[in-house]
Amino acid sequence: MTIDLIREGLGWCFIINAGLLLLWFLFFVFAHDLIYRLHVKWFKISEEHFNSIHYSFIALFKIILFVFNIVPYIALRIIR
């Protein structure tokens, strides 16, 4: 496995994960009530708690995306 192959794989991982993050955000913004009603059927949570959970996990996903996809990709671009 070459560095170029790893770098290309990290680039595609970023694109796929960024697409998932964008999809999650768009669903959360435009279908908030639908998602909330669905989750309330499974878990008895308030809307404030629901919002804080989703905002927290979106932020965590974004941090993980940068740490495990972008930083290694940039490092491999620098060394090669």
pLDDT tens digit sequence for 16-72? 999 999 999 999 999 999 999 999 999 999 999 999 999 999 999 999 999 999 999
| Residue spans of alpha helices (H) in 1-80 | 3-30, 32-42, 47-65, 71-79
* Residues in contact with 77: Cβ distance below 8 Å, sequence separation at least 6, in sequence order: 7
80 pLDDT band, cuts 50/70/90, is confident
Domains in the chain, number: 1
pLDDT tens digit sequence for 10-28? 999 999 999 999 999 999 9
- The torsion angle over the Cα atoms of residues 41, 43, 49 and 54, rounded to 10 degrees, is -80
pTM of structure: 0.86
CA 34/CA 30 separation, integer angstroms: 9
Tell me which DSSP letter residue 67 carries: I
Q: Widest CA span of the chain, in angstroms?
A: 52
**What is the span of the domain harbouring residue 43?**
3-79
